[in-house]
Amino acid sequence: MVWENGWGENLAELKKTHSLDTLMPGYFRKDQPFRLFQKFIRTDSDRFDLEIRRLIQKKYFEYYFGDYENIYEFGCGTGINLIELSRLYPEKKLHGLDLTRASVDILEILNLEFGIDVTGKQWDFTNPDKEYHLEKNSAVYTVAALEQIGKQWDRFLEYLLEEKPSLVLHLEPVEELYDEDNLIDWLALQFHRKRHYLEGYYTKLTELEKRGVIELLDVHRTYVGNLNDESYSLIVWRPAGICGQNGK
């Protein structure tokens, strides 16, 4: 399994070096152009993709997650997003879920060795464990994780609607937000579709909002991405009838 092997390499390095720097996923590539506001750019930084992702996360995590005691990342990978979140909110209870056993083992080390209040669980987006229940006053998020399941998001969405978290935030490539008349966007769409990335999810959310099932709080492009696609478009929603911070 590709992801088990990939996160397994990060796990082995973490055990060997005891350094959080080893948890940077291999897909953060150096010496490549990046997307910014529908243009390609080059930068002298060899960590531009990682650093701009951190800035985007910090902005939205600070704005949206302040009122929630429990925060869940589905598709947490090596745990780098949870580490950033723990620095912002050391008092909160964090939960990381991922398909791989290696990811859960990494989170156990983060808890025991680095003192991060995080628990881990294996999780399959396409076959959610309905015996796993979210705590009250919780927020859920994904970062470049739903992209991997293409059209197979229906069971996960059903799970969220049943569990009714107070807030759901996604930073994902969203094909519906691209402008097909723009060449840079068109190229991203071709890559997105060739890789069978997330399809139809945002369209479904708009349908659910029209039916009064959910409330869409924010949807927009951050206009940031890598060579291949725009990776971090924002979607924030909540089940209908739930109130939260600043009316969100």
The pLDDT, as a whole number, for residue 243 is: 66
Mean of all residue pLDDT scores within the chain: 92
Please classify residue 101 by burial: count the beta carbons closer than 10 Å to its beta carbon, then call 0-12 exposed, 13-18 middle and 19+ buried: middle
Structure tokens at 27: 């897909």
Contact at 8 Å (CB) between 232 and 174? Answer: no
Report pLDDT digits (tens) over 12-24: 999 999 999 899 8
Helix (H) or strand (E) holding 202: helix 201-210
Q: In whole angstroms, what is the distance from residue 103 CA to residue 165 CA?
A: 23
The pLDDT, as a whole number, for residue 242 is: 74
The pLDDT confidence band at residue 247, using thresholds 50, 70 and 90, is: very low
The residue whose two tokens read 């139809």 is: 200
Amino acid symbol at 141: Y
Strand segments, DSSP code E, in 32-159 are 34-36, 39-41, 70-74, 93-98, 118-122, 138-143
Q: Which of 170, 180, 113, 163 is nearest to 147 (CA)?
A: 170
Report pLDDT digits (tens) over 134-179: 999 999 999 999 999 999 999 999 999 999 999 999 999 999 999 9
The pLDDT, as a whole number, for residue 219 is: 98
The pLDDT, as a whole number, for residue 64 is: 97
Give the C-alpha distances (Å, rounded to integers) separating 94 from 77, 207, 223. 14, 31, 28
Cα atoms in the Cβ-side hemisphere of radius 13 Å centred on 67: 13
Report pLDDT digits (tens) over 174-207: 999 999 999 999 999 999 999 999 999 999 999 9
Mean of pLDDT values over 78-91: 95
Tell me which CATH code domain 2-240 carries.
3.40.50.150
The pLDDT, as a whole number, for residue 102 is: 95
The pLDDT, as a whole number, for residue 42 is: 87
pTM score, whole prediction = 0.94
- Predicted confidence (pLDDT) at residue 244 exceeds the cutoff of 70: no
The pLDDT, as a whole number, for residue 224 is: 92
The pLDDT, as a whole number, for residue 25 is: 78
Q: Which of 189, 186, 187 is nearest to 175 (CA)?
A: 189
Mean of pLDDT values over 22-36: 78
The pLDDT confidence band at residue 129, using thresholds 50, 70 and 90, is: very high
- Predicted confidence (pLDDT) at residue 248 exceeds the cutoff of 50: no
- Between residues 185 and 2, which one has the greater pLDDT? 185
- Between residues 222 and 29, which one has the greater pLDDT? 222
Domain spans, the chain: 2-240
